[in-house]
Amino acid sequence: MPPYPIGILGGTFDPIHYGHLRPALDLLEELELAEIRFIPCRIPAHRGTPLITAEQRLALVQLATDGQPGFVTDDRELRRDGLSYMFDTLASLREDSGDEMPLCLILGTDAFRELHTWHRWQELPGLAHIVVMQRPGLLKPLIPVLEAFTTPRVVYDRFALRRKPAGGILFQPVTQLNISATQIRALLARGQSPRYLLPEVVLASIHTQSLYR
Ligand code: ATP
């Protein structure tokens, strides 16, 4: 029997919130993943500088995922110089896990729609499957180049992810939580509370360290 796939959830995590965590748990269980690796980027390639350091974002991810079986915090992007490209991250995970292990790059719908702007994006299916978790409010058609890339690769169930180590694209419904890190940062900047949008332990640490003021 082929091995259970490893899920890879990269992000800025500025900060991590329930919009990352609950859909990730949906995928872990629905797709029978061996684990999900939360990989905070050091320097994001597609956005401005995060408000807190990569080490601080990583520590919050660690707090949020601690104690959930199957959730793993992975610091490999912090150990690499330069911009944090997912291509390099997947290449290093592929090197660690060998040629047979199915890898699943997990993306929100919004991130997937921008995939054609990523470094070496057309080579990503050579390294991993792509699992798109549906995010509320983004149902516009894909741009033609991404549509042409996606259509021949679409797969429909978790078994397809186990049959091959890479190359499929699965659209997977997840719990719809319209939560963003942007919203949380804005609330904190205004002195309002983001409580119930992210784990209590993460919020406590944000307050203790006076982050996002
Ligand atoms: P920001 O508001 O700062 O842009 P974000 O909340 O989108 O941040 P990221 O760290 O950029 O968080 O997201 C990491 C990954 O998680 C991306 O693939 C993104 O699409 C996905 N994601 C973020 N929020 C949600 C959500 N509420 N539901 C499903 N996926 C999400």
Q: Which atom of ligand 1 is nearest to the CA of 111?
A: 20
State the pLDDT at residue 205. Answer: 98
Answer with the residue of higher pLDDT: 145 or 47. 145
Verify whether ligand 1 is closer than 6 Å to residue 48 (CB atom): no
pLDDT in tens, 77-100: 999 998 999 999 999 999 999 999
Q: Residue 3 C-alpha to ligand 1 middle, in angstroms?
A: 28
Q: Residue 164 C-alpha to ligand 1 middle, in angstroms?
A: 27
Contact 86, 127 (CB under 8 A): no
pLDDT in tens, 135-144: 655 567 899 9
Q: For a substitution probing ligand 1, which of 9, 16, 20 has the most ligand atoms within 8 Å of its CB?
A: 20
How distant, in Å, are the alpha carbons of 58, 83, 114, 189 from that of 79? 12, 11, 25, 30
The bridge status of strand 103-108 relative to strand 35-40 is unpaired
Phi and psi at residue 76, to the nearest 5°: -65, -30
The full set of domains in the chain, from first to last, is 6-209 (3.40.50.620)
Contact 17, 198 (CB under 8 A): yes
State the pLDDT at residue 3. Answer: 86
Q: Which atom of ligand 1 is nearest to the CA of 44?
A: 11
Q: Which atom of ligand 1 is nearest to the CA of 107?
A: 18
pLDDT in tens, 193-208: 999 999 999 999 999 9
Residue 45 pLDDT grade (very low, low, confident, very high; cuts 50, 70, 90): confident
- For the record, the structure tokens of 210 come out as 């006076």
User: Rg for the chain (alpha carbons), in Å?
Assistant: 17
pTM of the predicted structure, to 2 decimals? 0.96
Residue 14 pLDDT grade (very low, low, confident, very high; cuts 50, 70, 90): very high
Closest to 161 (Cα-Cα) out of 27, 23, 26, 24:
27
Residue 120 contacts by C-beta under 8 Å, 6 or more apart in sequence? 85, 87
State the pLDDT at residue 28. Answer: 98
State the pLDDT at residue 108. Answer: 95
State the pLDDT at residue 50. Answer: 87
State the pLDDT at residue 163. Answer: 96
Instruction: Please give the average per-residue pLDDT across 56-83, as a whole number.
Output: 96
Instruction: Please give the average per-residue pLDDT across 145-162, as a whole number.
Output: 97
Contact 176, 134 (CB under 8 A): yes
Q: Residue 1 C-alpha to ligand 1 middle, in angstroms?
A: 33
Q: Which atom of ligand 1 is nearest to the CA of 18?
A: 27
pLDDT at 175 over 80: yes
How distant, in Å, are the alpha carbons of 18, 141, 158, 191 from that of 212? 18, 35, 39, 10
pLDDT at 184 over 80: yes
Q: What is the 3-state secondary structure (H, E, C) of the chain?
A: CCCCCEEEEEECCCCCCHHHHHHHHHHHHHCCCCEEEEEECCCECCCCCCCCCHHHHHHHHHHHHCCCCCEEECCCCCCCCCCECHHHHHHHHHHHHCCCCCEEEEEEHHHHHCHHHCCCHHHHHHCCEEEEECCCCCCCCCCHHHHHHHHHHEECCHHHHHHCCCCCEEEECCCCCCCCHHHHHHHHHCCCCCCCCCCHHHHHHHHHCCCCC
Amino acid in position 7: G
pLDDT at 6 over 70: yes
Residue 47 pLDDT grade (very low, low, confident, very high; cuts 50, 70, 90): confident
